[in-house]
Amino acid sequence: QPSWRALAASIAFGGLTRQHVQPSWRALAASIALTAMVASSSTWFVVGSQPAIATADLLVSDHIRALMAPEPVDVVSSDRHTVKPWFNGRIPNSPRVVDLAKDNFPLIGGRIDVVGQTPVPTLVYRHAKHMISLTEVPAESRILDRTPRTVNGYNVVRWIENGVSYWAISDVALKDLEDFARLFRASPTEL
């Protein structure tokens, strides 16, 4: 058995034979398989374990873009019977639209946002001088409720109801946004 110094010297000066340097095809295949497994599991951990956080980030970005746009909505109307039908044919399912004007949350219209590659309806309400974006996303059972309460200074309130994940986003005070969510949930579903 050569000493480690002799082995190191042999490697440094190219003294190892081809047999010791070239890995077998089985070792190469095993290393590729192991690399693929580690990469895919770490990708799942980063992406799959935090979809609620990623969705919150996307929806806050959509809300900010709407604030910067000349019009924050695609259809301007305070009438739910105008806003709800506008979504027909533009998205797979028409959203639940609730009139909260008597509670100081008037509807100002709606727009279509995109989450991933899915077009989703966003209803836009106003409270005082603040805009509230309420986006309805198909709920996935694997989403854990790790929704942040604030993202980039904007408050986020989320709930799931009847297979739909509702995301209310605004710079309005968190208590007011929670009141909005409570009123929306308590309103009867329109026919």
Residue 131 confidence (pLDDT): 95
User: Residue 160 burial (CB < 10 Å; 0-12/13-18/19+)?
Assistant: middle
Model pTM score: 0.69
DSSP string, 48-101: IT-HHHHHHHHHHHHHHHHHHSS-S-SEE-S-HHHHHHHTBTTBSSPPP---BG
Residue 53 confidence (pLDDT): 75
Please give the chain's pLDDT, 191 residues, in tens.
556 666 666 665 555 554 455 566 676 666 666 666 655 554 444 444 456 678 888 888 888 888 888 888 999 999 999 999 999 989 988 899 999 999 999 999 999 998 888 899 999 999 999 999 999 998 865 444 556 688 888 999 999 988 899 999 999 999 999 999 999 999 986 64
Residue 10 confidence (pLDDT): 61
Residue 48 confidence (pLDDT): 45
Alpha-carbon span 110 to 124, nearest angstrom: 5
Residue 12 confidence (pLDDT): 59
Residue 77 confidence (pLDDT): 92
Residue 182 confidence (pLDDT): 95
